Chains A and B, each alone.
Chain A
Amino acid sequence: MSFIKSYALPRVLQWAVVILVGTTITFIIPRLLPTDPVEQTLRRVSTSQIDPRAVETFRNTIQDLYGLQGTPLEQYGRFWTRLMRADLGPSLGAFPTPVTQIIRDSLPWTIGLLGASILISWVLGIILGTFAAYFPRNRWSNIIGGVLVTVYPVPYFILALVLVLVFAYYIPIFPLVGGSSGSPANLIPYLLSILQHAFLPALSLVLIGTAFRFIVARALASTVIASDPVTYAEMAGIARRRILFAYVVRNSLLPQITDLGLAIGALFEGALITEFVFSYPGVGYRLYTAILQSDFNMIMGITLFSIVGIATATLVIDLLYPLLDPRVRYR
């Protein structure tokens, strides 16, 4: 009981606050800025030939659509009612398909890409980082460390762009656009094509993710290696491999899990960028087409969705954490 009160409840509260603050910011921003999304939309669709009365009706329709009628407080109330019903309005680029449906359709691609690359980079980064800390004079760990540390600061977009240039353009071994080819009827070729399409986008995410994880893991492991238990274990003559896995990796693993919750947001942003560089059909690509089509509703919808999604993912990791760390459970 005290666990729920002292651990779970504050986190659920924090989750609610994040969503409240985030959605309120997205509500306020368009109303503070000088440009009017209604006028922008009108200008996009209307030409001089249209009857002014028709334009007026249309303006009312869009204002209603954006929830721009009534006092700000009423607007805020209606904004929340719509959110609760998971109604983000229709996309303007693909009118009248609802924004939620477009997000739902593209979400599996993003989650697949993100999930796979988080998993791979997390495991790879921790193993490589711990090795580099435990065998600081090993030539291989130095080479890998050098490459990862050079890749780490490179802006994400640039890294993805260079990968596209090299592996899809100059040496076309990987496809330039899309997420799959063929039809799901031929299951095995279809699955293979998904893997082939996902390889480069995932590689760019894995590179960045691994580099970050590597740097953190190396630092954490060096602290553990300098600690008393490891020193004693070495004096006792326990096999080095056993020390490495039973002491060093295990002890430096937990902070990495907390870190994972925080890294999800950053990796999600990376996934958005990857998707528009690689024209991968996930949420990030939708965001990109929405910008090209001036689809305000879609951009707004994806922003709201990402806030709720990231906050929830973080909450889930936080709540799962005590299962792995007994210290939190029995405090």
Chain B
Amino acid sequence: MVGQVRGPLGAARDLFRSSPAFRTGSIILLILLALGALSIFAPYGPTDRRVVPNDRSPSFQYPFGTTSLGQDVFWLTTFAIRNSLFVAGLAVLISRSIAVMLGSSSGYLGGRVDRLVSSVTDTFIVMPRLPLLILISFMIRGSLSMLAMAVLLGLLDWAWPSKRYRAQVLTLREEEFTNTAVFAGMGTFRIVLREHLPFLIPFLLADAVSGFLFAIGMEVTLSVLGLSDLGSPTIGTMIYWAGYYQALLARRFWWLGAPILASVLLVVGMYLVSVSLGNYLDPRTRLKTLVARSGA
């Protein structure tokens, strides 16, 4: 291991001070998480309609304005952020669990397992997912709950990360320190845990974010096509209803602006945090900075 190991809080404080990308990203994410958490205190239920006057522009009383359905855009957005985070989070959990399992078994076991798993993975990489997603959600139109959508998205997004994970494992197996560890008599399990995991975790973190981007993007796409559970507020369904009531033609841009802004901030924040965290945690870059420092 390179560099001293700090607790996660210490690492976060370090990063916050040294990396502007991490600072910006984490502040954005914290604000959005706080907004999502605020939904617990919402004065209205997530599906309540006609509880506030229609079509008010943003004001002191309604900071983000109100919709044509009599919903407060501010509170609606808090629900939307919470729900979209739930869908995307679960999808990432499912897809990355499958990917890690397949990728590492393929990379470490090799041989026939590797050939079988790799060809299955290659098959699913080429499969166009959006038409399949549309076909499936069209068939179960209306009953595609948020949970079902998360599972569906998770099941369609493991192939590419699995292949990349396998490639990572294969390079790590070829590294000199793996051989050193083997000759030093370290067990396979300990090598994987102590020597390889520090390399794989930053990779997984960065990869999880691309999963998040896929899930959020697909949720929005399916919802805007009217193929998801349109009753529950998510970033996608908010855009759908704003379009349905022609928020644009009526110049009610706050209705459309809130979910768009929320989604952009969410993904950009996440991306910034993951990139800076990945750089920080990656033993390779840490090695480089150490070398540069000792050279200076």
Query: Are B127's CB and A18's CB within 8 A?
Result: yes
In the complex, what's the smallest C-beta–C-beta distance from A222 to chain B, in angstroms?
A: 11
Residues of A within 8 A of B131 (CB): 272, 287, 299, 302-303, 306-307
Query: Are A307's CB and B128's CB within 8 A?
Result: yes
In the complex, what's the smallest C-beta–C-beta distance from B83 to chain A, in angstroms?
A: 15
Residues of A within 8 A of B213 (CB): 153, 155
Q: How far is the CA of A273 from the CA of B124 in the complex (A)?
A: 21
Query: Are B139's CB and A18's CB within 8 A?
Result: no
Residues of B within 8 A of A98 (CB): none
Query: Are A310's CB and B126's CB within 8 A?
Result: yes
Q: How far is the CA of A314 from the CA of B125 in the complex (A)?
A: 11
On whether A35 and B267 interact (CB within 8 A), knowing A153-B209, A269-B130, the answer reads no
**Interface of chain B residues 83 through 140 with chain A (CB within 8 A):** 119, 122-132, 134-136, 138-140
Q: How far is the CA of A269 from the CA of B129 in the complex (A)?
A: 8
Q: How far is the CA of A165 from the CA of B141 in the complex (A)?
A: 28
In the complex, what's the smallest C-beta–C-beta distance from B109 to chain A, in angstroms?
A: 21
A20-28, A88-96, A135-143 - interface stretch: A20-28
**Contact for B135 among A34, A268, A303, CB less than 8 A:** A303
Query: Are A29's CB and B136's CB within 8 A?
Result: yes
Query: Are B141's CB and A35's CB within 8 A?
Result: yes
Residues of B within 8 A of A154 (CB): 263-264, 267-268
Q: How far is the CA of A265 from the CA of B119 in the complex (A)?
A: 18
Query: Are B248's CB and A296's CB within 8 A?
Result: no
**Interface of chain A residues 150 through 169 with chain B (CB within 8 A):** 150, 152-158, 161-162, 165, 169
In the complex, what's the smallest C-beta–C-beta distance from A152 to chain B, in angstroms?
A: 7
Query: Are B123's CB and A273's CB within 8 A?
Result: no
Residue A79 lies at the interface, judged by CB distance under 8 Å to chain B: no
Residue of B nearest to A20 (CB): B123
Query: Are A26's CB and B267's CB within 8 A?
Result: no
**Contact for A14 among B122, B132, B140, B260, CB less than 8 A:** B122
**Contact for A291 among B123, B226, B256, CB less than 8 A:** B226
Residue of A nearest to B225 (CB): A291
Interface of A is mostly: helix
Query: Are B271's CB and A152's CB within 8 A?
Result: yes
**Interface of chain B residues 207 through 226 with chain A (CB within 8 A):** 209, 213, 216-217, 220-221, 224-226
Query: Are A29's CB and B139's CB within 8 A?
Result: yes
On whether A303 and B126 interact (CB within 8 A), knowing A153-B209, A273-B221, the answer reads no
Query: Are B139's CB and A33's CB within 8 A?
Result: yes
Residues of B within 8 A of A205 (CB): none
Q: How many A-B residue pairs have CB under 8 A?
A: 114
Query: Are B227's CB and A291's CB within 8 A?
Result: yes
On whether A33 and B136 interact (CB within 8 A), knowing A156-B217, A291-B227, the answer reads yes
Query: Are B132's CB and A303's CB within 8 A?
Result: yes
In the complex, what's the smallest C-beta–C-beta distance from A82 to chain B, in angstroms?
A: 17
Residue of B nearest to A36 (CB): B139
Q: How far is the CA of A260 from the CA of B277 in the complex (A)?
A: 28
Residue B230 lies at the interface, judged by CB distance under 8 Å to chain A: no
On whether A26 and B135 interact (CB within 8 A), knowing A33-B140, A153-B213, the answer reads yes
Residues of B within 8 A of A161 (CB): 239, 260
Query: Are B221's CB and A157's CB within 8 A?
Result: yes
In the complex, what's the smallest C-beta–C-beta distance from A180 to chain B, in angstroms?
A: 24
Query: Are A153's CB and B127's CB within 8 A?
Result: no
Residue A179 lies at the interface, judged by CB distance under 8 Å to chain B: no
Residue B146 lies at the interface, judged by CB distance under 8 Å to chain A: no
Query: Are B140's CB and A35's CB within 8 A?
Result: yes
Q: How far is the CA of A317 from the CA of B89 in the complex (A)?
A: 35
Q: How far is the CA of A273 from the CA of B219 in the complex (A)?
A: 13
**Contact for A34 among B122, B127, B140, B268, CB less than 8 A:** B140
Query: Are A18's CB and B126's CB within 8 A?
Result: yes
Residue B270 lies at the interface, judged by CB distance under 8 Å to chain A: yes
**Contact for B260 among A34, A162, A310, CB less than 8 A:** A162
Residues of B within 8 A of A269 (CB): 128-130
Q: How far is the CA of A300 from the CA of B213 in the complex (A)?
A: 26
Q: Which of A18, A268, A288, A296 lies at the interface centre, i.e. has the most chain B CB atoms within 10 A of its CB?
A: A18
Residues of B within 8 A of A265 (CB): 125-129
Interface residues of B (CB under 8 A from A): 119, 122-132, 134-136, 138-141, 160, 209, 213, 216-217, 220-221, 224-227, 239, 248, 256, 260, 263-264, 267-268, 270-271
Interface residues of A (CB under 8 A from B): 14, 17-18, 21-22, 25-26, 29-30, 33-35, 37, 149-150, 152-158, 161-162, 165, 169, 262, 265, 268-269, 272-273, 276, 287-288, 291, 296, 299-300, 302-303, 306-307, 310-311, 314
> Which 3 interchain pairs have the tightest Cβ spacing?
A155-B217, A153-B271, A303-B131
10 pairs, CB–CB < 8 Å, chain A vs chain B: A18-B123, A35-B140, A149-B271, A153-B213, A154-B267, A265-B125, A268-B128, A269-B128, A291-B134, A299-B138
Besides the known contacts A153-B267, A272-B130, 7 further A-B residue pairs in the complex with CB atoms under 8 A apart: A155-B263, A157-B217, A157-B220, A265-B126, A273-B221, A291-B134, A299-B138
